[in-house]
A and B are shown apart, each in its own frame.
Chain A
């Protein structure tokens, strides 16, 4: 009688253990899914991407001896430490132009936009690094890789 009771108790324990194992496996699967889920905050933004494409084509007020330079040509000129035809430093002009364009296109005051940042990298060296407003966890961004084979532009807009 005693042995029969013991056996029954053992069976119940095995059943209980099985349920615990099943539940643990399910929880582990869910945990795995939630950990591998890509961050939803970093949404690829076509708006930001289009802005960057258009901005790079913008004609700056810095010229070489032939013509006025676009922002992407100015980035290359800045990296090579060459000046504009009027003697201004190309890097100063570049920073000023990008800051003005961004301030006008992504207004922070009285809009849902909390801030933005942009980094322009040429040959693994940051040529421009602009940040304005507050950095939050809710942002949209985009990267334009290898423009003219050497320029990487990354921009994020924070909400």
Chain B
């Protein structure tokens, strides 16, 4: 009778052990599932953050006083580059080496629309051009870019008006430190 009871007790212990193992395994699986689900979200967030930072670097430079339109073109405008300022800056670029951080290799402002044949801006051909290459160092480093409007004062049949075109500002940086 005692032996039978012992066997029964052992069976019960075994049953409980199996049950505990099954429950543990189940929770581990659920945990793994939750982790995978969570990590998928993190990857998307990281991509979104990377995109945001990329935009922010270019936007930060576009909205800095050295480039921004300020109130010169009818009220304050975001993501607006004053082409006249940029050209003036290009002519005095030697004073601005390292101004945007030592990792910024080059800043380039290009017209996207209206579409015209590429023409680099110099003092002699401005404003009949569409690319302002500030440091003239080409495309060294990673390019960070954003859409901007490029504005300048222009004349139409003798009348002065604000001319804004659609463009992109490219910031070529060595690494992520500048973000």
Q: Which residues of A contact B (CB under 8 A)?
A: 19, 23, 26, 30, 34, 37, 40, 43-47, 50-51, 53-55, 57-59, 63, 67-68, 70, 100-101, 104-105
Contact = CB atoms under 8 A, between A and B. Distances in A.
Nearest to B30: A26
Contacts of A63: 156
Interface in B68-83: 73, 77-80
A45 to B, nearest CB: 7
Q: Is the interface of A mostly helix, strand, loop or mixed?
A: helix
Given A54-B80, A57-B149, 5 more contacts: A47-B51, A47-B55, A50-B146, A55-B166, A104-B112
A43 B47 CA distance: 10
Contact of A57 (B26, B52, B112, B151): B151
Interface in B39-62: 41, 44, 48, 51-52, 55-56, 59
Contacts of A101: 113, 166
Nearest to A41: B44
Interface string B116-149: 0000000000000000000000000000001111
A47 B164 contact: no
Contact of A58 (B37, B48, B165): B165
Contacts of A55: 147, 149, 166
B115 interface: yes
Contact of B147 (A59, A67, A105): A105
Interface of B: 23, 26, 30, 34, 37, 41, 44, 48, 51-52, 55-56, 59, 73, 77-80, 112-113, 115, 146-149, 151, 156, 159, 161-167
Contacts of B113: 58, 100-101, 104-105
Contacts of A46: 51-52, 55-56, 59, 146
B148 to A, nearest CB: 5
Contacts of A40: 41, 44
Most chain-B Cβ atoms within 10 A of its Cβ — which of A26, A40, A57? A57
B162 to A, nearest CB: 7
